[in-house]
Every structure is written in C-alpha cells, then in structure tokens.
Amino acid sequence: MRRSPLLVAAMVLLVSSVFGAEIASIDVDQAVLEAEAQRIAVMDRAKDSVLAIFARDGGGGGSGVVISPDGYALTNFHVVRPCGHAMKCGMADGQLYDAVLVGIDPTGDVALIRLFGRDDFPHARLADSDRVEVGDWCFAMGNPFLLAVDFRPTVTYGIVSGTHRYQYPAGTLLEYTDCIQTDASINPGNSGGPLFDAAGGLIGINGRGSFEKRGRVNVGVAYAVSINQIKNFLGQLRGGRIVDHATLGALVSSNEDGRVVVDDVLERSDAYRRGLRYGDEIVSFGGRAISTPNGFKNALGIYPKGWRVPLSFRRDGRRYDVLVRLQGVHGEEELLEKARGRAGNLPMPLPKPDQQRKPGEEPGPGGVPQPKRPGIPVPEPDDVPPIQLLPKAAIAKVVREHFRARRGYANYYFNQLNRDRVWKAWTARADCRELRG
C-alpha cells in the first residue's frame, strides 16, 4: 500500500515536532536546574550573616543582619528597645553571641548593634536599593514565630511589589519613608531581618507588614527600610547617636492642578531664608522630581538632620534652585521621650513598671522618673540612658566594657571611639614635625 506524499510529509513533521519538543524541554529543564542551583547557593551564602535576636532573659525575639566583619549589625529599633542595651544574637553556625546597642533611629525604625566573640563575622554586602525595580526577585531571611531554634533562618521568596512607598506612622512613632514593598512573607519575628536581591545583596531591613485587618499573619504586603536610606544615617549610628530625621520646615499639599505647593513655611527655617514662600510649587528635592505630597515625604524622609540638600521651586513661572540645610523633625527632649517609648503607641512591650512615671510624680532628668528605691542614687543628667538599662550582674563583661550611658546618646562609648579615631587620623595628617629644617 502506497502512502501519499502528503501523508508522509505530515508524519515526518509530527515526528520532528515531537523530538524537537523533547530536545527543547531538556534544554529548558537544564536551565531551570542551573537557576535553582544558583539560587540555593546564593541563599546558602546569605544565611550566614543573618541573626536571631533575643533579650538577655530569652524573651522577645526578632531578626538582624551583620554588615561588617567586626560584628556591626542592623535591625529594627522596635526589636532592640525591649532588650535594653544588651542582647543575645544567634547565627547560622549555631553559636550565641553577646551584643551591645550602638545607635538608634527611633523614627526610621533602625538600630545598629555590635556583636562580640570573633573578628571575622560573615557579613552581607550592601547593594544599591535605588536600582531595585518592581518585578525583581528578592528573598527575606529571619526568625518568624521563633521557628529557628538552631538559629538557621527561615527563607521566604518573592518579588519586589513596589518601590518608594510611604507608610504613615498610623498612631506610632515609626514612619516608613521611601521603603520597598514585597510579597515575600514577612511575619512577626522577621522584623529587623534582611531583604536580599536575587544576587544576595542587602537591599533593605524588613520591618512592617499589613497585619491590621487580618491579625498577625502576613497577607503578601510587607515593607522594608531601603538600605540606601540607612546608609545616610550609618555614620551617626556608628557614633552612638540617637539620630533624627530631617524636615524642610514647610508643609505641602496638592493644588487643584495637581501640583505640589507650599501651604506654610517656618520663618526660622533655612528654606525660608533661601527664598521659599507660601504658594511656591515644589519642582524637585534632593535630585528627585516631585509630583505628589507623598513623593515629597519620601524624598525628605531619607535624610538626617543637618544635611544640605538641593531644592528647586517655581514661582510665577520662574524656577529657583537653592541649597537648603535641613532641620530636625524633633527637639532634643521630644526625641529622647520617643526613644524611651512614652510618646506614641509603639508595637512592642512597654518598659518595666518601675521605669514608668506614676500619676502625680514629677519626671526626672530627660523625662525619666526619679527612682524611689533606697540605695539607688538619682542619675545625673549626663547619665540618663535613652532606653532601660539592665542590672550589671546580667550583662557580660565585654558588653559592660563597650557601653557608657550619657544624655542624648544611645551609647556614648562608641561616640568616644569614633571621635578618637577621627582625631588620630587628623593629627597624623597634620603632623609637620618631619618638615622642620
């Protein structure tokens, strides 16, 4: 029986398509396997820098990430506040390390701590969060629900759902500006942990999820403080400071044309001195084009107090470009109160009762109630800590040696350390004795 040429051609085409599909599927499968192996390798390296953070009594719980070989690590302010100035940190090597508070950013919900026990800590690489785009793969690591009993972090994988997000304080002090939104699961205990890009670069510190309407379970909407914002504050945090965010000294809103205009401006602000007035249109700030009030808040929120930032505004069709020095959002007393947690409803445990002011009791220095217990002296103003101090007996010697309480500082020891370092570098450069004839 002879087959028609048309039938033969159809059979050849069918066989070719089947084998071609198999070959193509083999190629795709291999590519998938290689991508999977690469992803696993990246996560395996990243896990070594991740922390499980606990209070000295084993209570509380949160996450963090080491950013330098000498043990400096980032976490959330609301993670360390219940711990006092000393805490324990578990790492993926199974070891538990002592750590001390270094600096805090109460408004931005960031804290810097330092671990002790080795001088070669595995640490994360700081990436450029301004290059993150919606749709990028990312993964979060941390200790949700205190699952990591062996200190090996839990990994959740997802994409970047949004960039330059603004989250209102919503009745708390914590204001998340210019943050990264992700659908990677962020649950209680993930706070303070790292958000990595697909290459294992640190792009943010996880801190906030949309729990309000569905209880304490993540619903795929979580936020991380961008690492580029943290970089702006890192120098002050290393200096043991309680850092403040900046304000332009002006209020803005959208007008009927959708432009961002000035509603009010403080006469004592540098922006006023540079010519900014009521009704002016904000064109750009810090090099960013401004099109919405939230966009302005995002651009402003990444800067510390005292920075000089370019501002462009328009009035009657004429554009003005000036450089303004930013003032602090809070006064010194207000910032200290917020750091201690008595202003605003922070989502964390309150200080112990003997640290809270009772009705009718006058506040002591810096707003701290005067101790009434016999044998305990009233602290001098320079020795008032920003958060509750723990009894010395409960603190490791190495932590005690690296902490000094002083008014206005999270840890004055590190301020002295950095001042000495800068002074030595300056004197070494300015030493002219060898130039004498």
CATH code where residue 161 lies: 2.40.10.10
Number of domains in the chain: 2
204 and 259 housed in the same domain = no
| Proportion of the chain in helix, strand, coil states, percent, rounded to 5 | 30, 30, 40
Among the listed residues 232, 204, 64, the one whose alpha carbon sits nearest the alpha carbon of residue 136 = 204
Mean pLDDT over 198-222 rounds to 78
Residue 74, phi then psi, degrees to nearest 5: -105, 145
d(CA 295, CA 51): 33
- Higher confidence at residue 11 or residue 192? 192
Q: Helix (H) and strand (E) counts for the chain? A: 8, 21
Residue 271: CATH number of its domain? 2.30.42.10
pLDDT at 25 over 60: no
β-strands 201-209, 222-226: how paired?
A: antiparallel
> Would residue 11 count as lying in a domain?
no
- 139 occurs within a structural domain: yes
**Full residue range of the structural domain in which residue 298 is found:** 246-328
Give the strand pairing for 125-126 and 201-209: parallel
Q: Indicate whether 215 pLDDT > 80.
A: no
Mean pLDDT score of the chain = 82
With tokens 């690591």, the residue in question is 141
Question: Which tokens hold the place of 161?
Answer: 């759902």
Query: Looking at the structure, do residues 252 and 220 belong to the same domain, yes or no?
Result: no
pLDDT confidence of residue 344: 36
Question: Between 217 and 246, where is the model more confident?
Answer: 246
The secondary structure of 361-427, three-state, reads CCECHHHCECCCCCCCCCCCHHHCCCCCCCCHHHCCHHHHHCCCCCCCECCHHHHHHHHHHHHHHHH
Q: Of 37-41, 139-143, 211-215, 229-233, which gets the smallest average pLDDT?
A: 211-215
Average pLDDT over residues 161-165: 93
What pLDDT does 362 receive? 37
Q: Helical H runs in 61-209?
A: 77-80
pLDDT at 230 over 80: yes
Residues 266, 217 share a domain: no
Whether residues 204 and 267 fall in one domain: no
Active site residues: 78, 109, 191
Rounded to 10 degrees, what is the CA torsion of 378, 380, 382, 384? 10
User: Higher pLDDT residue, 3 or 223?
Assistant: 223
